[in-house]
Structure 1
């Protein structure tokens, strides 16, 4: 009896969509605005609040600060200017890459060789074009 090999699904969603899924709902709204150029570069919390007026200013301020703490935004804490200025520090693909490497490392740390064997089994299911794309990603 032959068991059919499970088809490997390709995620056709955009990198931005996948990156948003890795964030909380408010973080995703703010980063979508930043990634798509709806916020100036650099921006201040007030810029975000104007764009998302349904949110309390303090909620926006806290969420933007958390995005900076996570390294997704960078912050310039200039003493000359009252407001902190923020910039995008990670593009969607960079966020996905950083978090996926961390997740893979945690899986290996937790499950050891079993995790590596599972990764290898998943790689075996890929077609040559997918393998080549992954090889290029791994070389970054």
Structure 2
């Protein structure tokens, strides 16, 4: 699922391009595959090492998983979109206070509160 929200503050421009490719493909990808897809939409192609570095950094941030394949890795998103990344960062940074803030915001908006209740009622 491609990101529809602005990436400012959540992902850098290259990270956003890489994540858009991974979300749209919907399956684990190698550096070579990501590079080919990213470069298809670019006037100036990115180097293999640039894409490899971006993927490694996203994996270090916990945004991607990576599984060894031969001498390289296959990368897969752990988060569904930029909103998921932002929420993850807020919760990791502020913990229980962030959750309480989300609940307070939901209480102030009946539509959002219904959505929160529906999400909590779903089976894991």
Corresponding residue for 2:42? none
* Conserved? CA contact 2:2–2:23, under 8 Å: no
TM-score w.r.t. length of structure 1:
0.62
The residue matched to 2:46 in structure 1 has which SS?
Answer: coil
Aligned equivalents of 2:2 and 2:47: distance in 1?
A: 29
More strand by share: 2
**Highest Rg: 1 or 2?**
1
Offset, 1:135: 3.3
**For this pair of structures, how many residues does the alignment match?**
114
Aligned equivalent of 1:105, options 75, 92, 95 = 95
Aligned equivalent of 1:43, options 9, 17, 29 = 29
TM-score w.r.t. length of structure 2:
0.68
Structure 2 residues without counterparts, runs of 5 or longer: 40-44
Structure 1 residues without counterparts, runs of 5 or longer: 1-13, 110-115
Q: Deviation above 4 Å: which 4+ runs of structure 1? A: 137-140
Aligned equivalents of 2:117 and 2:6: distance in 1?
A: 21
Corresponding residue for 2:15? 27
